[in-house]
Structure formats: structure tokens, C-alpha cells
Structure 1
Amino acid sequence: MNWEDLLSLKRYGDHHKRLRKEQDETRLGFEVDYDRIIFSSAFRSLQDKTQVIPLSKTDFVHTRLTHSLEVSVVGRSLGRAVGKAILEKHPYLSEVHGYRFNDFGAIVAAAALAHDIGNPPFGHSGEKAIGEFFKNGTGQNYKPQLTPKEYQDLIDFEGNANGFKILTESRKGIAGGLRLSYATLGAFTKYPKESLPKKPTRHIADKKFGFFQAEKESFSEVANDLGLIKTSGGEELSFARHPLAFLVEAADDICYTIIDFEDGINLGLIQEEYALEYLINLVRDTINTKKYQSLTTKEDRLSYLRALSINTLISDATRVFLENEESILDGTFDCALLDKSKYTAQINDIIQLSINNIYRSTEVVHKEIAGYKILNTLLGAFSDALIRTNNGTASNYDKLVLELLPEKYTKSGSVYTMLLSVCQFVAGLTDGNAVLLFNKLTGSSLK
């Protein structure tokens, strides 16, 4: 892969290349991507979606929105640091094509801003709940009407693939969705493959999938324009990652490692003294002991260690990327950047403590159980109503239920198209709206 193609400014519907040297510096194309994402309704909905604690009413706990903004800030720093070094190593990118190091930062910032835009309510358990509905719930009744790949899309419902759908899906009068640059779409796609075949490998890009069958053609166009390396033959579709996707992933990894940990401390799930020791181990080489000892409140001590930890990991992730640029460009680099970090042991200690004390806490488990019940009910009601309405067998109840489904999701077409549309609607709900809709369907709101 080469940087000139990877930094493509092309958007869906363009019939020619957009040249960097012809860009308006006051309205740069990559920065337009950021603006379009942040003004989208799908992004706004993240303000009421779970990051760690489902349905938390505590004001200092992160939502998907605050998490995404923080990941974007970290991603911008990573992109700029890498971009500066890349342009020094490959001066033709600047001298001939006009690229600046801020371009790298803008691409990674935009992709990072959108990285959770396709995630369902109730955190990662929301993805699992949608998949379980089709694998073990009443949704499995639709399996005979689906191809193996279509069925796999549903039973392994993936927020990353749903995000790509949101960013690129055409509707009447809106071709190409948000019409983001191909560079940003490439950096967004951490798993550039379809849901089947499932081939367990050590390569990080094979961990999940990044687009549904409905967007297969769209992704192929993006991947081919960017010059991503095809890693499969025949009818299988998979590519090597866009190099900047590694930076988006690193920004996310850094934030959830440090900031989820911070949430656990603020919630009292992790003892302050114990937690601060873990963070100090991470920043032992850079901490200003005198400054730290002058801080008198838990909040200030935690804030200082958090900022120092994030900065430490940004610098180290940048180092790993630059040391492995060649293997990243030829598609052979097979792990996350932080897996090669010199702080891996400290990172793993923090993550394990978060798993034990936060992700498996009673509050989280109870609310994830509720999320399963809520999403199963919504998926069952709307799937049956939409499909029976389209085949002429709808009951009066089905027709009433369909009144609650926004027009853009009432697509007629194949069973797969309709089921995916319902999944997209349910995944787009906020935690609060999912509960509200569940109460309407079950009559709880009338009690």
C-alpha cells in the first residue's frame, strides 16, 4: 500500500480524484468529515448510550458520546505525531502532493469520532443480545430464508459493520450517506472483511467483521480506491487494514484502558489507593513526584495520573507504529499497537482489574440482563410486524407496532434487508428510548 492512495480525499459519487494541493485550507476535506459526523443524529444519540455502566445516572461516568470525543482527541494527537514523521520520511507527499501532518490527525480524529457510532444500546451486551435473538431466539425462524453470509451478519451482529452502514448508506436524495472521504472510511474500518468465512487467526484484522453483505459492494469500492491489499481470493472478501486504522484502534484502547479505570474509581468499584498504585506503575518514568505529592484531592491526583498515562501511551503507540511502518503497509503487521507496547504488563494489570471490578460488577450484570430482555422484545415485535406486513399477513397488532417504526426503516425487499433494517433501528436507539419503547410494547407505561 502507498500513502498517496491511502490519503484519498475522494467521496462517494466522485468521478475524479480530489487533489490535496487544490484543497481550501480553511475548509479541508478531512475536517469536513469530522463536521459531518458530529452534526449527524446517529452521533448525537451516543449521549445516552452506555460506555461502561448501563443506564447510569451518575454525571461523571462516561457515555459513548464523551468516550468518542476523548478517543477522537487522542486519535488526533496520534495522527499528527505519526504524520509528522511520515512526511519527513516521505517528503514527496508534501512537496509533490501537498499533504500536511495535520491531515493525518484530521483523518484519525474523524474516524475515531465515529468509531462507536454503530453500537447498540446497553454497551457490548447490546451487540450480543441482537445476535442471540437470531441465533437462539425466535429470530432463528428466519434462517431458512437467508443465505449463510446474511444469517452470519445477524447472529454476529457487529457495531463496526453497522457503523459503516450508517456512514455510507444511500437513501432517497442522500447518496453515499454522510459522503465521507475514503481515507476516513478506511481508517474507520478496523476489520476489513465480511462475516464469513470465520477463520480464527492471530491477525487482529480477522477478529471481527467490518461490513454487512448489504454494504459489500460499497466497501469494495472504498478498498480498491485506497489500494488496500486483498487478503482472500474467490468469493471471499477481506483486505489488509488501512494503516491509520491501527491509530484509531490505539486511541480507543488507550481511552478505555485508562478512562474506564477512572470511572471505576469514581464509582467506588476500585479502591483509590489500590488504583493509583496501578497508574503510578504505568507512568513511573515520567511522573513529577513533587507535583503529585502537592495534590491534595483524589480528583486532582487521578486527573494528573490520567493525563500523564494517556500521554505516555500516545508516545509509545507512535513509536510502535513508526518502527513497524513497512510491515503495516505490506499488511503483515498482525496485532494492535499496544500489544507491542513496552507498557503491556502495566496495561494488562489495569484491564484485568477493570474486568474483575467494573465489567463484572453486580450493577453492570443486572442492567445487561435487562438489556437482553428489552432488545429481544423489540426485535421480535418489529421484525414480525415488518415482514408480515410486507407479505400480507399482518395482524392488527402488527400494524399498530409498525406505527412506532420510523419510515426510513420500513423497507420492503428481501427478508435480509428488512431484518437488517430492524436491527439498525434497534441499534440506533439510546438506552433510555429502548426502555421507553419496551414499556410501550409491553404495556408497562400504562401501569
Structure 2
Amino acid sequence: MNWEQLLSLKRFGDTNKRIRKEQDETRLGFEVDYDRVIFSSEFRSLQDKTQVIPLSQTDFVHTRLTHSLEVSVVGRSLGRLVGKKLLEKHPHLYSVHGYQANDFGAIVAAAALAHDIGNPPFGHSGEKAIGEFFKTGEGKQFKNELTEKEYQDLCDFEGNANGFKILTESRAGRDGGLRLSYATLGAFMKYPKESLPKKPTNHIADKKYGFFQSEKEAFIDVANELGLLKRSKEAISFSRHPLAFLVEAADDICYTIIDFEDGINLGLIQEEFALEYLINIVRDKIKTKNYYELSNKEDRVSYLRALAIGTLIDEAVAIFMKNEEAILNGSFDCALLDKSKYEAQINDIIRISIENIYQSNEVVDKEIAGYGVINTLLKAYTNAVNNCYDNTASNYDKLILKSLPKTIKINDVSLYIRLSSICHFVSLLSDSKAILNYKKLKGFQFS
């Protein structure tokens, strides 16, 4: 892979190349990507979607929106620092093409801002709930009417693939989705493969999948424009865009450190754990006098969190640059922080978070409720849509159809398209809206 192709400013529908030196420096194309994500309705709904604690009423626990904003800030720093070093290593990128360090920061920031845009309500349990409906629930009846890959898309419903759909899917008045630059789309695609074969290797790019069968052509178009390397002759699978490693690192840094901070502030993790594990990461940077002058837990943990994020940013940049050649030829096969000298401390923090936050009674109880909500919605919507298509819709089905948006492809001849559009609609619901729709279906909502 080469950086000239990887930094493509092309957008869906472009007939001519976009040249970096011809860009308006006051409104750079990569910065427009960020704006388009942040003003999208799909991004706004993240303010009411679970990050860790579902439906939390506290004012400091992160939602998907605050998490995404934080990841974009960390991603911008990672991109700028890496960009500066890459321009020193490959000066022609600036002298011939006009790229600047901030370009890399803008690409990573925009992709990082969008990294959770496809996640359904109720966190990762929402993804699993959609999948279980088709794998073991009433949706299993459709298996024999779908191709193997179409059925796998539904059984392993993936927020990353759903995000790619949001960013690229055309609809009336919006050709090419948000029409982001291909460079930003490439950085967004952490798992550039289709749903099958499932985890064919231990390579990080094979951990999940990155597009549904409905977006296959759009994905191939982006991959070819960017010059991503093919990794399989049989299936659609490519090497990652190098900047996807930075998007992943920004996410890893934020959820590792900030979820840990949330757990401490909620009282789910004792402050002593912060002292033991965070200080091991920031030992070389901490100013002991300043730390002990902080009078409350939130300020102390905030101080350690800020230092830890800064330390891991520097670490990720160093690892990226050390392995740039392997990343460009597709042989670098793990997350950047898997090579970190702080890997043991990071793993300890994640282990404690799993035990005390992700598996806490509050989280588990609300995830159980989320399964019930999503199962009820999918059952009602799939019945209504498919009965309508078969001309067997009841009055109840017709009422449900009136409550659904016109984006659902009720009359599409493809069962896969009908089912995937229903899943997509459910995935766009906020936690509260999903519960409201559930109450209406159950007859609990009359106002």
C-alpha cells in the first residue's frame, strides 16, 4: 500500500480526482468529513445509547456520544503525531502532494468520531440480541430462504458493518450516504472483510467483519480506490488501512482508561485500584506533589486518567512508526497496544472493569431487559413487513407499518433486504426510543 492512494480525498459519486494542493485550507475535505458525521441524525442518537452503564441517570457516566467525542480527540492527537513523523520520513507527501500533519489528524478524528455510529441500543448486548433473534429465536425460520452469508450477517449483527452502511448507503436525496472521503472510510474500516468465513485467522483484521452483503459493492469500490491489499482469493477480505490502527488505538485507550474511571466514580471499583494500576502506567510522568494536593476522588482519578491517556498516545505513536513497513504490507497482525510495554497493566485494568463494571448487577439486569425489548421489536416488525409483502397483513400489522419510517424496504423482493432494513431501523433507535416502542407494542403507552 502507498500513502498517496491511502490519503484519497475522493467521495462517492466523484468523477474526477480531488487534489490535496487544490483544497481550501479553511475547509479541508477531511475536516468536512468530521462535520458531516457530527451533524448526522445517527450521530446525535448516540447521546441516548449505552456505553457501559445502560440508562444511567448520573451526570458523569459516558454515553456512546461522549465516548465517541473523546475517542475522536485522542484519535486526532494520534493522527497528527503520526502524520508529523510520516512527513519527516516521506517528505514528498508534503513537497509534491501538499499533505500536512493535520490531514492525518483530521482523517483519524473523523473516523474515530463515527466508530460507534452503527451500534444498536443497549450496547454490545444489543448486537447480540439482534443476532440471537435470527440464530435461535423466531428469525431462525428465515435461514433456508437466505444465502449463507446473508444469514450470517443477521446472526452476527455487527455494529461496524452497520456503521459502514450508515456512512455509505444511498437513499432518496442522499446519494452515497454521508459522502465521506475514501480515506476516512478506509480508516473507519477496522475489519475489512465479509461475515464469512468467520475468524479464518488470528489476524486482527479477521476478528469481526466490516460490511453487510448489501454494501458489498460500495466496500469493494472503497478498498480498490485506496489500494488496500487483498488477503483472500475465495472471500472478500483486505488488509486494513494503516490509519484504522490509530482509530482502534484511540478507542482502546478511551474505553480502557475512561470506563475504569467511570467504575471508580460510581463506587464499583475501589479508588485503591486506580492508585495501583494507573500509577504503574504514569509513574514516569506523575508529579507527586500535585497529585497529593488534590482533595477529592474525582480530581485524583481525573489527573491519573489524563496522564495515562497521554502516555498511551505516545506509546501507540512509537509502535506505529516502528512497524510502519509491516503495516503497509499487511503483515502487522495485532492491535498497536498489544505491543505496548504497558500491556500487563492494560490487561489488569480491563480484567477489573469486566469483573466490577461490565458484569455488575446493574449492567446485567438492564442488558436482560434490553434483550426482551429488541426481541419484541424484531418479532413485531418482521411479522408486519413480511405479512404485508405476502398480502396477509392483519389490521395490527398495518398499524405497525404506519409507525415505521419509509426507509424500511417493505416491498423489496429480497427477503434479506427486508430483514436487514428492519434490523437497521432497530439499530438506529436510542435506548429510550426502543423502550418507548416496546411499551407501545405491549399496550403500556397511551399518550
Instruction: Give TM-score, length-normalised by structure 1.
Output: 0.99
The aligned residue for residue 142 of structure 2 is: 142
* Letter of the 1:47 counterpart: Q
Q: Which residue of the partner structure matches residue 371 of structure 1?
A: 370
Quickly say closer, same or farther: Cα 1:353–1:199, change in 2 above 3 A: closer
Aligned residues: 446
1:292 aligns with 2:291: yes
SS of 2:261's partner is: helix
CA distance in 2, matches of 1:283, 1:411: 55
Moved over 6 A (4+): none
Query: Partner residue of 2:103?
Result: 103
Mapped partners of 1:334, 1:410: distance in 2: 39
Secondary structure in 2 matching 1:444: coil
1:274 is displaced (CA, Å) by 2.5
Q: Partner of 2:375: helix, strand, or coil?
A: helix
**Aligned residue in 2 for 1:24:** 24
CA distance in 1, matches of 2:371, 2:23: 47
Specify whether residues 14 and 411 from structure 1 end up closer, same or farther in structure 2 by C-alpha distance, changes over 3 A only.
farther
Unaligned ranges ≥5, structure 1? none
Structure 1 partner of 2:125 = 125
The AA in structure 2 aligned to 1:120 is P
1:67-95 C-alpha deviation (Å, 9 max, x unpaired): 00000000000000000000000000000
Unaligned runs of 5+ in 2: none
Range with greater deviation from structure 2 (434-443 or 399-408): 399-408
User: What is the match of residue 116 of structure 1?
Assistant: 116
Q: What's the CA shift for 1:293?
A: 1.4
- Whether the aligned pair in 2 keeps the contact of 1:411 and 1:417 (CA below 8 Å) is no
The letter for the 2-side match of 1:329 is: L
- What is the TM-score of this pair, normalised by structure 2? 0.99
Equivalent-residue separation in structure 2 for 1:294 and 1:287 (angstroms): 13
List per-residue Cα deviations over 1:33-85 (Å, max 9, x = no partner): 00000000000000000000011111110000000000000000000000000
Deviations 1:306-360 (A, max 9, x none): 1000000000000000000000000000000000001001101100000000000
Q: Shift of residue 410 of structure 1?
A: 3.8
Matches within 5 A, 1:171-210: 171-210=171-210
Q: What are the superposed Cα offsets for residues 225-275 of structure 1, whole Å, 9 maximum, x if unpaired?
A: 0000011114x1000000000000000000000000011011110011222
For 2:93, the equivalent position in structure 1 comes to: 93
Give the Cα–Cα distance (whole angstroms) in 1 for the partners of residues 204 and 161 of structure 2: 16
Cα separation, 2, equivalents of 1:277 and 1:443: 51
Deviation at 1:446, TM superposition (A): 4.6
- For 1:375, give the aligned amino acid: I
Q: Which residue of 2 aligns with 1:444?
A: 444
**Larger CA deviation: 274-283 vs 312-321:** 274-283
Aligned counterparts of 1:305 and 1:318: Cα–Cα separation in 2: 20
Distance in 2 between residues matched to 1:362 and 1:240, nearest whole Å: 39
Quote the residue 2:341 is aligned against: 342
- The SS at the match of 1:16 is coil
Contact 2:382 2:422 in 1 (8 A): yes
- Partner-residue secondary structure (3-state), 1:409: coil
Contact 1:55 1:431 in 2 (8 A): yes
Q: Does residue 408 of the first structure (1) align with residue 407 of the second (2)?
A: yes
Conserved? CA contact 1:8–1:226, under 8 Å: yes
Q: How does 1:347-362 map to 2 (within 5 A)?
A: 347-362=346-361
Partner SS for 2:403: coil
Partner of 1:39: 39
Aligned to 1:220: 220
Does the Cα contact within 8 Å between 2:388 and 2:410 map onto a contact in 1? no
Distance 1:411 1:89 in 2: 53
- In 1, the alpha carbon distance for the partners of 2:305 and 2:199 equals 37
Amino-acid identity (%):
74
